[in-house]
Amino acid sequence: MSVSNLLSQYGDRYIQALLTTWKLTAFSFAAAFALGVLITILRVCPIKPLRIAGDFYVQVFRNIPGAALLILLVYALPYLKIIFSYEVCVLIATTLIPSAFCSEHLMSGMNTIAPGQIEAARALGLTFFQMIRRIVIPQALRSTVLPMTNLLVATMLTTSLASQVPMRPMDLTGLVSYINTHATGGVTAFAISAALYCATALLIGFTGSLIDRKVRILR
Amino acid sequence: MNMETPVIELRHVDKHFGLLHVLKDISLKVYRGEVVVILGPSGSGKSTLCRTVNRLETIDSGEILIDGEPMPAEGRKLASLRAKIGMVFQSFNLFAHMTILDNLTLAPVDVLRIGKKEARMEAMRLLERVGVADQARKVPAQLSGGQQQRAAIARALAMRPEAILFDEPTSALDPEMISEVLNVMTSLASDGMTMLIVTHEMNFARKVADRVIFMDDGMIVEESDPEAFFLHPQSERARDFLNAVHSH
Ligand SMILES: Nc1ncnc2c1ncn2[C@@H]1O[C@H](COP(=O)(O)OP(=O)(O)OP(=O)(O)O)[C@@H](O)[C@H]1O
Ligand SMILES: [Mg+2]
């Protein structure tokens, strides 16, 4: 089928799929971000078992393939009498994995903070959490806008896992499979999705570098 | 005998870095309004002593008291005692992501729970006093070293501290900026601020110190008033140190 054929027949569905991908991406990234910050605080806190737990978390979810995690969530959890909807399973997988990378970025962002500033914060009488909240996390975030931008794009691509479960509405990748089982969209069906992924990624990248320029810390 | 409670007191403090014994049975009292200068050769433990006072360094044994209250090794109580003791570092250590003004108001608002508006007014007054009020809206990297250090002193003052520790506050500065920082410190001293100062600026030490402590090899070797120390050092080691300094 030609692009115009595909669009006239499936145009609405492509738009719906794009919105679904955006929605999954936004939810996953927001949750991954919050979780990543939390895990990072664990990894630098004064209590050693918590630090170890944080490091362990990151090692696990940084290294597990997304499909493997999704299979575990969909097929293994029910054995533990835990049953989530397909959509929730996808969201969990697309949150846990990026959260580990988010934490890695934040850790490297923290390394850009001169140790003297931490000493100054302690000398001023700030508690651990005050120091984390006012000094460490803000600087770590502001120096990792570009890696976080890349992570947002990676998170979007990870949401294509949704195509592996019968989820409605479909995401961009799921729609390609759908079209190709109902008609012969072939490579063209995929190309349209790919173009939409790319356009979104470009938009994200552009916005990211704007933000980076605005918040980058002068040293 | 002085019956007053010292602002800072160290009792028999010992500290090792691994096998290196850096503080050997250090006992020290700093009374209200006193300016105590610590001198000594490189590696004698001056910085470590200074940092030990507010427990930026852990200690192996001994006691540290602030206003007569023992300083615990960790926790909220430690943070609240630290807030009473200002600290000025060799490398300024201003918070890089904040304006100078925010550097000054952060701890008063978060730690002392002073209102934002009041903290800002107080901060501006202090910046005025150290001569960098016109830099208040800039971030640290936009200031010269001398300006950053004066702002760092103002940040310490904003906590209304009982005493301020200075660890070689002018060692990272270009020569032409040293005096602007020393002038601020001299004016603090004459206003009665309690200060414990590690410095290599001998003229300054002689001028502002009420008492000089000479350290060598982790020990307090000599403790006397500045004139006595500079004119008639008692120990061989202090004489060697002063000779080495003067021959520069
Ligand atoms: N974090 C550390 N780990 C291990 N050894 C250290 C550490 N900090 C300082 N030392 C050592 O402890 C000794 C005392 O150091 P300190 O910095 O207190 O000396 P100082 O009198 O301030 O010297 P300077 O005049 O050069 O600043 C030195 O031998 C130093 O090498
Ligand atoms: Mg030193």
* pLDDT, tens only, A186-214: 788 889 999 999 999 999 999 999 999 99
**Which ligand is closest to the CA of B40, given by its number?**
1
Whether residue B79 has its Cβ less than 6 Å from ligand 1: no
B59, two tokens = 């200690």
Biggest CA-to-CA distance, chain B: 55
**pLDDT at residue A185, as a whole number:** 66
**pLDDT at residue B220, as a whole number:** 96
CB contact under 8 A, B82 and A125: yes
**Residues of chain B found within 8 Å of residue A116, distances taken between Cβ atoms:** 89, 91-93
**Which ligand is closest to the CA of B241, given by its number?**
1
What DSSP string runs through chain A? --HHHHHHHHHHHHHHHHHHHHHHHHHHHHHHHHHHHHHHHHHHSS-HHHHHHHHHHHHHHHHS-HHHHHHIIIIIGGGGT----HHHHHHHHHHHHHHHHHHHHHHHHHTTS-HHHHHHHHHTT--HHHHIIIIIHHHHHHT-HHHHHHHHHHHHHHGGGGGGS--SS--HHHHHHHHHHHS--HHHHHHHHHHHHHHHHHHHHHHHHHHHHHHPPP-
Structural contact between residues A31 and A216, judged by C-beta atoms closer than 8 angstroms: no
User: Could you report the average pLDDT of every consecutive run of 10 residues in chain B (248 residues)?
Assistant: 86 96 96 96 96 94 95 89 96 97 98 97 97 97 97 98 97 94 96 96 95 96 94 92 83
CB contact under 8 A, B74 and A119: no
From atom 2 of ligand 1, which residue's Cα is the shortest distance away?
A: B17
Q: In which band, very low, low, confident or very high, does the pLDDT at A184 lie, cut at 50, 70 and 90? A: confident
CATH code at position A146: 1.10.3720.10
**pLDDT at residue A10, as a whole number:** 86
CB contact under 8 A, B97 and A139: yes
Whether residue B70 has its Cβ less than 6 Å from ligand 1: no
Nearest atom within ligand 1 for CA of residue B41: 25
Give chain A's domain count: 1
Q: Is A62 on the interface with B (CB under 8 A)?
A: no
Residues 6+ apart with CB under 8 A from A16: A169, A170
Alpha carbons B86 and B153: distance in angstroms, whole number? 8
Alpha carbons B87 and B95: distance in angstroms, whole number? 14
**pLDDT at residue A9, as a whole number:** 86
Nearest atom within ligand 1 for CA of residue B48: 18
pLDDT, one tens digit per residue, over B152-201 is 999 999 999 999 999 999 999 999 999 999 999 999 999 999 999 999 99
Whether residue B52 has its Cβ less than 6 Å from ligand 1: no
pLDDT, one tens digit per residue, over A47-59 is 999 999 999 999 9
Whether residue B15 has its Cβ less than 6 Å from ligand 1: no
Q: What's chain A's length in residues?
A: 219
B158, two tokens = 């904003």
Residue of A nearest to B160 (CA): A124
CB contact under 8 A, A125 and B89: no
- Whether pLDDT at A145 is above 80: yes
Alpha carbons B148 and A61: distance in angstroms, whole number? 43
Average of per-residue pLDDT across A76-95: 92
B234, two tokens = 């008692």
**pLDDT at residue B2, as a whole number:** 66
**pLDDT at residue B1, as a whole number:** 55
Rounded to the nearest integer, the mean pLDDT of chain B is 95
**Residues of chain B found within 8 Å of residue A218, distances taken between Cβ atoms:** 96, 139, 141-142
**Where is pLDDT greater, at A203 or A178?**
A203
Residue-number span of the structural domain to which A91 is assigned? 3-215
- Whether pLDDT at A142 is above 80: yes
Specify the pairing of strand B163-167 against strand B194-198: parallel
> What is the C-alpha radius of gyration for chain B, rounded to an integer number of angstroms?
18
- Whether pLDDT at A105 is above 70: yes
- Whether pLDDT at A125 is above 60: yes
**pLDDT at residue A2, as a whole number:** 82
**pLDDT at residue B189, as a whole number:** 96
Residue from the list A122, A134, A217 with its beta carbon closest to the beta carbon of B56: A122
User: How close, in Å, is residue B85 to chain A by CA atoms?
Assistant: 8
Block residue for tokens 């846990």: A96
Structural contact between residues B187 and B35, judged by C-beta atoms closer than 8 angstroms: no
A147, two tokens = 């890696």
Mutate to test the pocket of ligand 1, among B42, B167, B200 (most ligand atoms within 8 A of CB): B42
Q: In which band, very low, low, confident or very high, does the pLDDT at A216 lie, cut at 50, 70 and 90? A: very high
Give the torsion sign (CA, B165, B137, B91, A108).
positive
- Classify residue A202 as exposed, middle or buried by CB count within 10 Å of its CB (0-12, 13-18, 19+): exposed
CB contact under 8 A, A124 and B74: no
Average of per-residue pLDDT across A63-75: 94
From atom 22 of ligand 1, which residue's Cα is the shortest distance away?
A: B47
For this complex, say whether ipTM is above 0.90. yes
Whether residue B42 has its Cβ less than 6 Å from ligand 1: yes
Residue from the list A120, A126, A142 with its beta carbon closest to the beta carbon of B97: A142
